[in-house]
Amino acid sequence: MPLVRIDVLGRDTGRLAALGRAVHEALGEVMGFPDDDRFQILTAHDGESGILRHGTYLGVRRDDGIVYVAITLREGRPAGQKQALYRRIAELAQEYAGTEPRNMFVVLTENSDADWSLGNGEAQYLV
């Protein structure tokens, strides 16, 4: 079960929903998560009360179309699968939301079974 956070600049809720769809579908295709495993926090920043900063780190020229995607999930996926996920997210984000692949900034954070409570004050993965 991944927890996905997506941050964009601007108030285009259609774009934000399309990006959520892109990430969700990529996670299903590449990592096998079921369709009903959708836990997302989608945030639009207006440029005044909330802003996004970016640079040209490692030669990638980003602009205000940047999308930050932070995915927290349980540990254990191989590097090749993670690389395939990054590619698929970029492809679907371009297809669904018109976001250029250079503006897709994705980070995965892994943790263990004990780090999750999916409700009821229980650690369901430890059962």
- Which of 2, 34, 78, 101 is an active site residue? 2
Angstrom distances, CA of residue 110 to CA of 2, 34, 67, 86, 126: 9, 19, 20, 15, 16
Query: Would residue 2 show up in a list of annotated catalytic residues for this protein?
Result: yes
Decide the pairing of beta strands 67-74 and 3-9: antiparallel
**Residue of 4, 82, 1 lying closest to 41 (CA atoms):** 4
The upper half-sphere exposure of residue 46, i.e. CA atoms within 13 Å in the direction of its Cβ, equals 2
Residues with active-site annotation:
2
